[in-house]
Amino acid sequence: MGCGPTPEVVATKKIEVKKQAPADAVGYDLRRLRPRDEEPLAGMFDRLRAQAVNDGKRVAVLFSADWCEPCRELEAELGNRHPAEKIGGVQILEVKEEDWTAVTRMDEFDALRVRWSEVTGSYPLLLLLDEQGQKQEEMKEAIDRLNAAGVEPTLANWLADTRPRV
């Protein structure tokens, strides 16, 4: 069972792709974690998460696969630009199934994923983490919550809605 966006969200994203970005727009801060002989995935993830937190960024982790249609829709959204106040303070660490399958290190991929979800093999899984690296909210939960609040359930609105209030 995938946790991909609802058809309404996918349709919204297709419309957003056609919109012109505001002058103060930024792109998503996305870093893809690829296998390295000298560094296990968990260590790489923990190092990059700590670095992002030290830089004052919130961290989201995305598990995806090239064969997954909702993942491709989400990747299209990640190519968009939005106002900095909505997405500027978040770094997304992406882990793609194919990168880890190709080097037969799926055990590392699955071990990292089960930190936040017992289900493996379901894509996409996008989670916003708290400063300690624990799950704050998962994308599917956010879609339900934003819909209930009457807010358009886009990735940019989710990230803006969950930013710390000062």
Domains, the chain, ordered by start: 7-161 (3.40.30.10)
Say whether pLDDT at 3 is over 70. no
Say whether pLDDT at 49 is over 60. yes
pLDDT for position 137: 95
Question: Model pTM?
Answer: 0.84
Mean pLDDT of 7-11: 42
For residue range 91-139, list pLDDT tens digits in order.
Answer: 999 999 999 999 999 999 999 999 999 988 889 999 999 999 999 999 9
First to last CA, the chain: 37
Range scoring the smallest mean pLDDT among 14-18, 45-49, 70-74, 117-121: 14-18
Distance CA 38, CA 23 (A): 41
Say whether pLDDT at 155 is over 80. yes
Distance CA 164, CA 166 (A): 6
pLDDT for position 164: 76
pLDDT for position 1: 38
Which position has the token pair 């089960």?
114
Distance CA 66, CA 32 (A): 13
Say whether pLDDT at 15 is over 50. no
Say whether pLDDT at 37 is over 90. yes
Q: Please enumerate in sequence order all residues whose Cβ is within 8 A of that of 38, keeping only pairs 6 or more positions apart, or say none.
A: none
Which residues share a beta bridge with 127? 61, 138
pLDDT for position 22: 66
Say whether pLDDT at 4 is over 90. no
Distance CA 106, CA 25 (A): 36
- Local confidence band at 166 (pLDDT 50, 70, 90 cut-offs): low
Mean pLDDT of 69-84: 93
Cβ–Cβ < 8 Å for 127, 138: yes
